[in-house]
């Protein structure tokens, strides 16, 4: 079986667009959160269970996003989610957003999740089992863009 990044397809909804009819930048966070949650679920780690099981939280320490092509109401977006880096006590999730109809990259994002103890909120190492389960979603940007049918180095 070929490894593939985790993807979801979502439509831009009325609540996602601004007065100009273009997706509001903050709406992308909803797409990223859905993709992240579903990636963990598909790995057998639904958020409702695994935080308790491992005794951890994964708060965000960093988030950045670049927008390269406008999405409008009812446009279909394919969000690929993948682990782009594992650290000792953190992991970086990356997102590549394909505007399906245009076949163009609409946005990219990265967020750093830090592993903390649930009780003390102090930094701790990523649980080995968590890392092992998520390694199936470890890719490079070029690999993910290839799976999405995008050329390497795609711009707006």
Phi-psi region of 55 (alpha: psi -120 to 50; beta: other; left: phi over 0): left
Percentage of the chain lying above the pLDDT 90 cut:
91
**What is the helix (H) or strand (E) element at residue 76, kind and residue range?**
strand 76-86
Domain 6-147 has what CATH class?
Answer: alpha beta
The string of pLDDT tens digits covering residues 60-95 is 999 999 999 999 999 999 999 999 999 999 999 999
Q: Which of 32, 124, 121, 26 is nearest to 80 (CA)?
A: 32
Q: Is 27 helix (H, G, I), strand (E, B) or coil?
A: helix
* Residues 82, 79: Cα–Cα separation, whole Å: 10
Domain ranges of the chain: 6-147
Q: Assess whether pLDDT exceeds 90 at residue 153.
A: no
pTM recorded for the entire structure: 0.93
Entry field: residues in the chain: 156
Contact call for residues 30 and 15 (beta carbons, < 8 A): no
Cα–Cα distances in angstroms (integers) from residue 116 to residues 60, 73, 124, in the given order: 11, 38, 5
Q: Other C-beta atoms within 10 Å of 71: how many?
A: 26
* Residues 49, 122: Cα–Cα separation, whole Å: 20
Per DSSP, the residues of 126-151 read PPHHHHHHHGGGB--HHHHHHHTTPP
Per-residue pLDDT, averaged over 16-44, amounts to 95
pLDDT at 127: 96
The string of pLDDT tens digits covering residues 48-61 is 898 999 999 999 99
């Amino acid at each position: 079986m070929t490894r593939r990044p985790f993807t979801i397809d979502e439509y831009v909804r009325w609540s996602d667009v601004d007065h100009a009819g273009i997706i509001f930048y903050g709406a992308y966070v909803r797409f990223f959160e859905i993709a992240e949650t579903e990636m963990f679920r598909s790995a057998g780690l639904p958020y409702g269970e695994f935080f308790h099981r491992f005794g951890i939280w994964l708060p965000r320490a960093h988030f950045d996003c670049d927008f390269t092509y406008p999405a409008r109401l009812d446009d279909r977006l394919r969000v690929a989610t993948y682990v782009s880096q594992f650290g000792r006590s953190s992991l970086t999730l990356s997102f590549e957003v394909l505007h399906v109809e245009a076949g163009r990259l609409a946005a990219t994002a990265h967020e750093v999740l830090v592993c903390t103890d649930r009780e003390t909120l102090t930094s701790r190492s990523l649980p080995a089992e968590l890392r092992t389960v998520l390694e199936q979603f470890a890719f490079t940007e070029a690999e993910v863009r290839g799976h999405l049918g995008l050329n390497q180095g795609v711009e707006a």
